[in-house]
Structure 1
Amino acid sequence: MKIKKYLAYDMKEACQLIRQDLGPDAVIINTKQVRQKGILGFIKARMVEVTAAVDEVSVEAPSTKEVKETLSDDDKVSREMQEMKELLQQIIFKEQKATDGTIPVKVSDYEEFDAAEEFRRILEDLDLLPEVEKKIQDAFLKNELDQCKSRNDIKDKLAEKLADFFIPVTQANQKSNVLAFIGPTGVGKTTTIAKLAANFALYHGLNIALITIDTYRIGAVAQLKTYGDIIGVTVEAVMTPLELKETVKNHKHCDLILVDTAGRSSKNFEQITELKTFLDAIRPLEVYLVLDVNTKNKDLISIVDKYSVLKYSKLVFTKADETYSLGSILNVVDATELPVAYVTNGQNVPDDIIPGEPAGLAKLIIEEVE
C-alpha cells in the first residue's frame, strides 16, 4: 500500500493532485488545516494537508473456498499479499476513525460542498418572488456562505436572516380589542376565529364575544355557534352595519370581540365595498387579513392589493400543513410590510395555530425545505 501526503490550497486542488499521482482508486484517510512558513518566517495563507493511500497491486479477491480449491502456490502468495494489504487498510481506517471520528473517503467519490449552489437550491425551493429572493441574498455577507459546510448550516444561517424580515406583534401595534377577520372564500376564517376564541377563553381566562356577519354562506352561523357552545362563548349574528355597531356596543365589557366576515373575491369590488361599510361602523378596530399559503404568488399579491381598502393591519396564514413551501409568507410580508399574527397548520380546535413570533416563523419556513 502506498501512502502519501499532499499540500493544497483547497480540497478540489488536493483531489486533483491525488488522482494524478495515485489514481481514482485512492482513499483519503486524513485531512487537516495547516499554515506554512514563508520567506523570512512570515506565515502563509491556511492550506489543507491531505493524506491518501492506494493499493500498489490490485488483485481480485475470490472466496475462501475457491482459494483452497483452485489457487496455485504463486496464486496463494498473491492472495496472502492482498489480504495483508486489506488488513493494513482496515488498521488505517480504525486508527483514523478513533483519532478524529472521520471516515476515509475514496477520492473518486469526493465532491467539494458548493455552498453557493446549495443556497440557490434552497431559495428555489421556497418559491420566492425575484425581488424577495434578491433581498435575502443581499442580507448575506460575502464570507458567510463560505463558512457553511453543509445544507443544514445554510438553513440555520438562513433562518437567522429571515427572522429579521418579520415585524413582531406587540401591544404598540394592537390598538383595539375588536378584531375582524377578512379574506377570500375558503381560507379558513371561521376555524381560525374558533381556535383563537378557544385559546383566549380556555387558556387565558378572557371574556370573549363572537359576532358573525357571514349570513350568506349556508351553515356559517350554525358552524360558529357550534364552536361557541363548546367553548362557552356568546355568538351573535348580524345583518346590517347598524346591527353590528349595536352588538359590539352591547359587548363592550368583553375582553375581546372577534368578528367573522363572509369570504369575498378580490375581483368583486362591490362586495369588498359592502364589507367596508360594516367595518367602518365599528372603527377603531384591528382588521386581520386571512390568506391561504397554497394560493399562487400572483394571486396573493393581487388579494393584498385589492383588500387594502379595508385597512387591514395584521396577517394570518392558514393551511401551512398542506404545502412543502412557505415562501409565500415572505412574499406577502415583503409586499405589505405588516406583521404576521398567526399561522395555522391543521383543523384541530383549539390546537394547530402558531403565534407569529419572528424567530418561530423563520424556523417554520426553513423546516419545510427538504
Structure 2
Amino acid sequence: MRLKSFHAKSMSEAMRMVRQTLGDDAIIVATREEDGGGVRVTAAVEDDDLLMAQARTAQPTRTARPVVVVEEEPEIDVGEVVADVLHRHGVPAALAEQLIDAAAGLDTDDPALALGAALDSMFTFSPLQDRRGGNKPLILVGPPGSGKTLIVAKLAAQAVFRKRSVGVITTDTVRAGGMEQLAAFTRLMKIKLATVEDPDALAGAFEVSRGADVVLVDTAGRNPYNREDMADLKALLSAGVAEPILVLPAGLDAMEAADIAQSFKALGVRRMLITRLDMARRLGSLLGTAHRSRMAFCNASVSSKVAEGLTPLNPVAFARLMMPAEDKAARNRPKPAAPAKTKAVRSSSRTIP
C-alpha cells in the first residue's frame, strides 16, 4: 500500500489532487488543517490500483507540433527523498511522518543534512568520551549474543592505542568460553583481567582499578523477560558508580527491540550502543527503539574485527548510514531535459511507509 500526503488551500482542491494522483479507489486516511493555512489530506491506495490509475490517465501518443526544450537544473524534493529513505528502512509510520515534516521544513537541498537535522530534533546522541582520567567505569549489558565481549575488547584496544591505562573486569563466569574469549583478547593487549562472581567482588574490583583511565566490565547475557536474570543484573549494577550501557544488535524486529530496551531502561540504562551494523540493511527498528525507550545513541560497531574500533554516532553520521553513497550518486545524476509546459498547481506529496 502507498500513502501520500497532499497540501492544498482548500479541501476540494486537495481531493482533486488525490483523485488525479491516486485515482478513484484512493482511501482517505486522515485530514487536518495546517497552522499556516490550508489543509493536508493523507490518502492510501493499493499498488495495483495505483498502476491502473496511472494507466488510465496516460495520454495516447500522437503527432504534435514541435515544442521548445528548456534545460533546467535537476530539482531535489528533499521531503520525497527523506520519505523514501525512511520507507526503505522500515521506520514506523507515525515516527516517519514526524521526521518528514521536520526535514521538509529546513532550508537545504541536501537530503542527508535534512534527515540529520530531523534526527537531531527527535533523538539524543551522546558518544562515549575519550579523556585521560575521570571516566566512570562502563558496564556492558544486554541480551545474549549482542556482542558485549567484543565491544569490551574494542574499547580496551582503542584505549591502549591512545596510551590510556585500562582495567578489564568480567562477571561472565557461566557462559561456556566467555571468560576464555575475553582473556585471549586481554593477553594480546597485556591487560590484566579480573574475574568476579557477585556484587561485593565487583565493588572490590572497582577499588583495585580506581587509578585506571578506562575501566570496562563485561557481563553475561541477560534474558530481558526473565525476572531472576534482571534481578541479578540489578544487584550487580548497585555495586558501584559504573554506568550501564545497553549493547543491542541491529536487525531485530522493531517491537521486540523496543521491548528489550525498555526492560534494561527500568534498571537505569540511559545509553544504547549498536552492534552488527555491517550485517543490517534496515535501521528503522533502531529509531523506533530509541523513540519508545527514550534512550540516547552513543556508538556503533560496523565490523567484527577488534582492531576496527567503534564509530561515535551523531545525527548526520546516522543519516549517512541510512543513505549509502551509491544512493546519493544516483540522485545527483542529471535528469533528461523535459519539454517546457505550463506550471500547474502541484501537491507536495510524500510517500511514507
TM over 0.5: yes
Structure 2 portions without partners, runs of 5+: 1-57, 328-353
What residue is the counterpart of 1:178 in the other structure? 137
Q: Is the 8 A contact 1:126 1:369 kept in 2?
A: no
Equivalent position to 1:158, from 115, 139, 143: 115
Deviation at 1:353, TM superposition (A): 2.1
Once residues 298 and 176 of structure 2 are traced to their aligned partners in structure 1, the CA distance between those partners, rounded to angstroms, is 28
What residue is the counterpart of 1:222 in the other structure? 180
Change (3 A) 1:314 1:114: closer
Equivalent position to 2:64, from 17, 22, 44: 22
Deviation at 1:277, TM superposition (A): 0.5
TM-score normalised by the chain length of structure 2: 0.67
What residue is the counterpart of 1:189 in the other structure? 148
Matched, 1:133 2:133: no
Alignment of 1:287-326 (within 5 A): 287-326=244-283
Once residues 208 and 269 of structure 2 are traced to their aligned partners in structure 1, the CA distance between those partners, rounded to angstroms, is 24
Matched, 1:271 2:224: no
Deviations 1:10-36 (A, max 9, x none): xxxxxx99966627xx7x773157xxx
TM-score normalised by the chain length of structure 1: 0.64
Deviation at 1:313, TM superposition (A): 2.0
Change (3 A) 1:305 1:207: same
Deviations 1:260-298 (A, max 9, x none): 00001111111011111111011x221100101111101
Matched, 1:356 2:319: no
Deviation at 1:176, TM superposition (A): 4.8
Higher Cα Rg, which structure: 1
Matched, 1:122 2:85: yes
Deviation at 1:184, TM superposition (A): 0.3
Q: Percent identity?
A: 24
Q: Is the 8 A contact 1:194 1:227 kept in 2?
A: yes
What residue is the counterpart of 2:239 in the other structure? 281
Matched, 1:346 2:303: yes
SS at match of 1:315: strand
- Residue 283 of structure 2 aligns with an amino acid whose one-letter code is L
Change (3 A) 1:250 1:263: same
Q: Is the 8 A contact 1:228 1:234 kept in 2?
A: yes
Q: Is the 8 A contact 2:113 2:316 kept in 1?
A: no
- Residue 70 of structure 2 aligns with an amino acid whose one-letter code is T
SS at match of 1:30: coil
Once residues 125 and 182 of structure 1 are traced to their aligned partners in structure 2, the CA distance between those partners, rounded to angstroms, is 30
Question: Number of aligned pairs?
Answer: 268
What residue is the counterpart of 2:4 in the other structure? none
Change (3 A) 1:278 1:137: same
Matched, 1:199 2:158: yes
Structure 1 portions without partners, runs of 5+: 1-15, 34-99, 103-111
Once residues 288 and 325 of structure 2 are traced to their aligned partners in structure 1, the CA distance between those partners, rounded to angstroms, is 16
What residue is the counterpart of 2:199 in the other structure? 241
Deviations 1:30-59 (A, max 9, x none): 3157xxxxxxxxxxxxxxxxxxxxxxxxxx
Once residues 209 and 298 of structure 2 are traced to their aligned partners in structure 1, the CA distance between those partners, rounded to angstroms, is 24
What residue is the counterpart of 1:9 in the other structure? none
SS at match of 1:289: strand
CA RMSD of aligned residues (A): 3.3
Change (3 A) 1:176 1:118: closer
Deviation at 1:256, TM superposition (A): 1.4
Deviation at 1:209, TM superposition (A): 0.5
